[in-house]
Structure 1
Amino acid sequence: MPPAELDLLRRLKARDESAFVELVDAHHASMLRLARAYVRDAAAAEEVVQETWLAVLRGIDHFEGRSSFKTWLYTILVNRARTRGKRDKRVIAFADLARDESADASELTESFDAEGHWSAFPVSWETSPSAAVERAELQQLARTAIDALPPAQRAVIVLRDIEDLASDVVCNILQISETNQRVLLHRARQRVRKALTQALGE
């Protein structure tokens, strides 16, 4: 576990309020996006995230560090979001969404390299980002594009590209196969890229 994470964990266990504030600031928005993959509306997602924070505070003393703190946090969130989704009788099952979108991994294009990163950024990002949009506006465009993704794609891209979790960790949290995860991530990135390039006037 990285020193910074160990320090955060120590402070959380000591009931350091500033540590909890740091944690919320770092993850709350991404947690809301992930929760929306399982529940019917923004209000329900907010409730799930609040329940997750309470569970973290109650369970922090029992966290043994067998996984990263971030993995533990998001596993709690996904489990609670799934439970809430079932309770609210959301008809879309995440596993079914993943299967629907993973039938053909051969659809992957040359837009991404072997590690799944974009092989080339849109020209506007490299040469004249300020001429297209201000940095804050570009970030908002990206957030809007992610929020508009289908639930399964949104969950994968939030965990992989925003929270920077490893592929195997994401598969474990979401209970999907590596192939499913790879295709979902590819399609999510393609949609976000398309939305951004259109907004930038390409």
Structure 2
Amino acid sequence: MAFRATDDLETMARTAAAGDPAAVNALLIAVGPEVLRVCARFLPYREDAEEACQDTLLALARGIERFEGRSSFRTWLHRLAANRARSTYQRLRHRFQNEASGRPVPDNPDPRRTSVVAGTRLDLLDALECLSPDLAEAVTLRDVIGLSYREVAGLQDVPEGTVKSRIHDARRRLRLRLSDGPR
């Protein structure tokens, strides 16, 4: 089956999830720019965002059969991209720590080498690492990606009230962490 740029993304995703290689290829081409934009929300350097984008697209190609349609494909994709961007940051941070001959990465980015926006994103990624995975994912999907509470609840397979509670708790902890409060 040949796919065109005008084909519905949901239809392509469902067809790809059913095992159609042409649908997988068309889907990867269709979502590539969007995935890069999502990754760039997390990672301040274009090369890092591109690396996370490639990781996301590879994970999408390998794991599309796990898309069950419980949420929209775009919501599922944003979750995948957010998780891959955070994983890329953690991997890059770990690599930097190893290359720095055992010297720890500075807690605060050097303002002479890092823009305010980039420094803020790095601070946020560091702070997210201190949260439990459920809290980090909920607040990331809501506040960084912009999903609704209902969409986050669908992805996390929990009630909407639980998502609101997780996000409230995560925001409180992030505020403390980012304001150099108690850790």
Greater RCO (Cα-Cα under 8 Å, separation 6 or more): 1
Q: TM-score, normalised by structure 1?
A: 0.44
